[in-house]
Structure 1
Amino acid sequence: MKSWWYPFKRGPLASLPLRVLAKPWLGPILALAVVILVGALGYRLTEGWDWGDCLWMVLITISTIGYGEVEPLSQAGRLVTVLIIAGGVVVVQLTIQRALRLTESGYFRQLRELRFRRVLRRMRDHVIVCGYGRIGKEIASKLQLEQVPVLVVEIDPANKQTAEEQGLNVLQADATLDETLLEAGLDHCRSLVAALPSNAANLYVVLSAKSMQPHCRLISRADSEEAAVKLKLAGASVVVSPYVAAGRTMAATALRPLAVDFMDLLAGSDYEIEEFQLSQDPLKFNKLSHRSLAKLQLGRRSGAMVLAIRDGSSLMANPSSEVELAPGQLLVVLGSKAQLIRLRELLGEALDTIERMAS
């Protein structure tokens, strides 16, 4: 014979209808309602009180608050009180037994999972970090400091617990699977970071993500030059080697310590460096009133500073005021959040996408 908790043993609670979720609690709730109504009716018949006094007496008796009797009780009224107390004890025992059975069946664990799935469905413009190892921890920590929504995908229970202790949302699943990336919100995320310890696993993640969302920004780690090349071919937007990046930072610190200190200072300030990708569509671009930086006066009107302009493979640092903007160019801009927002408004439809640069 199937018991009332049988559905929770068959599959994930998230796929069950609300009536099934509420079914285990119907017994205790109905029993409590019967005790309250029958007790109120008993007081009504034995004491002749109005329904408000009857219900109040039942509630303070069951809850053991003990404010005192509404009016002195008759012998029949005291008998009703004893029966109410006995009924309340039965209801409490029934509720405790039901809770213990639900705990054993995994009901509460799956209920927490259901709430987490709802949180996932509401996440928008977040960063998915696949892997919470040494690199994943650092990435998630920096994103948290910038108040960027983060979702960690981690299969290891110990790493999952560590991430949750840091206040992160964690999806415990295999990041190389398509269904995991879809559940993580790949179709409405800001970007995805593949920080798994294996080059092969990162390659799987990039291939899966690229096939499902071709326009998603994909960042991956690589332990070798060969792996970096393969990840680029697979569709990674940016490939970072921790060893190469660490070596470059150490060399830059030795040669240009002030520049490195400036970037560290920038990371802790209100100022950011963003990439403004101009549209390839000439019709949208022609809506700009002027083309040259001098006539547009982007710096004066927004307060932001254009550090460089990339046109194809060429990069122009510290562009002069005579430089004219053209479709498809990439502007590297420094400014506060308010200044960058103002610059977006000035560029209008000529702006295609915006990407935040790591500082």
Structure 2
Amino acid sequence: MNRFSALYKRILILVVSILIFVLLGALALMYSEEMRFLDAVWYSIMTLTTVGFGVPDNFSDLGKIITIFLMLFGVGAVLYGLTALALEFFNGNFAKEYKQNLIKRNMKNLENHIIICGFGRNGRQAARKLILHKKPFVIIDKKPLENRDDEFRNTIFIHGNAVEDEILIKAGVEKANGIIACLPSDADNLFIVISSKELNPKIKVISRASNSSTIKKLKTAGAENVIMPDKIGGEHMASLLITPDLVEFIDNIVLEGTKKINVLEIYTDKLSKKFIGKKLEELQIFPKTGCKIVGYKDVHGEYIINPDESKLIEPNSCIFILGQPHQIENLQNMYPQ
């Protein structure tokens, strides 16, 4: 019984209670009136549901006593059970329970995923981007499931406080590839950074910050990147006045990718080992897909803009590709990440 949820236990108790009254009444009537089993069950259900088609002919006194017992004690219990079952169904409890069980099954096999802590504006934007790039993720938020947007209704959602270790563990932090801490409180985001790094030292943490004084603390705690949405927004608006066409072009490539992917990064460690030490041109990216290599990040973290095709592919590096959406899709099929 431990494997059943509280809802399933309640339903089981209600169904068993109803069946007990039906069967006891049927067995008693079979004994007193020598009815067939089907006739006894039929009469017992009619009595318990208050349908009633009258008393059968030659009904004995014992049969009448049994009927009185069913009407006094069984009818109320059965009607209460049927009403409770109907309420569970119409209140959506069955659907909620099904979704929770589905989440638990999905979580068992989930790994190398991303955890989004906080589902406000920043969390939603992050989720849209991850969906676009087909990256598995889990959402943690204090608000219950029904308060989320319909577009995220099929995502894995955990209702709870992301600063608590048990909630992070429930979200699979020990097997996660990255975590996005985008709660409105810098203190809460700091707790998430510390806890996630303790539970999984290899996890990559991206944190939001509201105050510039918090950036150093978050990075010291282990955050690889710290983002200040207000600062980025202000700089972006100023850039739209200084170099509007250039900024809009970059936005169209990177930020407007909520519907289309125009840029892709390929990690050399996920390529076939035969490409390590070979030239970039041997990947045959442009001839086969039409995409162009626009950047390269080497093992030391240095960036090369528009690298020459004779550049040798190194381990622990990253190749940046630019192309039209259908070209990027072809590239993803060639070199899945």
TM-score (norm 1): 0.68
Shift of 1:235: 1.9
Q: Hey, what does 2:74 align to over in structure 1?
A: 88
1:331 to 292, 306, 319: 319
1:238 to 225, 238, 256: 225
Spell out the pairing of 1:334-345 with structure 2 (5 A cutoff): 334=322, 336=325, 338-344=329-335
2:281 to 294, 298, 304: 294
Distance in 1 between the 2:214 and 2:137 partners?
Answer: 26
Change (3 A) 1:293 1:200: same
1:267-293, Cα deviation, whole Å (9 max, x unpaired): 14342533222239xxx9752387123
1:315 aligns to 2:300 (yes or no): no
Identity of aligned residues (%): 25
Q: Hey, what does 1:259 align to over in structure 2?
A: 249
1:275 aligns to 2:265 (yes or no): yes
Distance in 2 between the 1:195 and 1:291 partners?
Answer: 40
1:122 aligns to 2:106 (yes or no): yes
Unaligned segments of structure 2, at least 5 residues: none
2:23 to 37, 40, 43: 37
Q: Which shifted more, 77-86 or 322-331?
A: 77-86
1:73 aligns to 2:73 (yes or no): no
TM-score (norm 2): 0.71
Distance in 2 between the 1:81 and 1:30 partners?
Answer: 20
Unaligned segments of structure 1, at least 5 residues: 1-15, 104-108, 346-353, 355-359
Distance in 1 between the 2:129 and 2:282 partners?
Answer: 38
Distance in 2 between the 1:179 and 1:270 partners?
Answer: 36
Distance in 1 between the 2:4 and 2:283 partners?
Answer: 62
Shift of 1:331: 0.8
Tell me the secondary structure at the aligned position of residue 275 of structure 2.
coil
1:274-318, Cα deviation, whole Å (9 max, x unpaired): 3222239xxx97523871232331233355442211123432223
Change (3 A) 1:289 1:65: farther
Alignment check: 8 A CA contact 1:304 1:343 kept:
no
Tell me the secondary structure at the aligned position of residue 40 of structure 2.
helix
Change (3 A) 1:221 1:19: closer
Distance in 2 between the 1:295 and 1:148 partners?
Answer: 28
Q: Hey, what does 1:204 align to over in structure 2?
A: 191
Change (3 A) 1:334 1:162: farther
Shift of 1:246: 0.9
Distance in 2 between the 1:277 and 1:210 partners?
Answer: 23
Distance in 2 between the 1:307 and 1:249 partners?
Answer: 22
Change (3 A) 1:232 1:343: farther
Tell me the secondary structure at the aligned position of residue 321 of structure 1.
coil
1:227 aligns to 2:214 (yes or no): yes
Tell me the secondary structure at the aligned position of residue 335 of structure 2.
helix
1:52-96, Cα deviation, whole Å (9 max, x unpaired): 333233334434566x68xx8214177355554444324237759
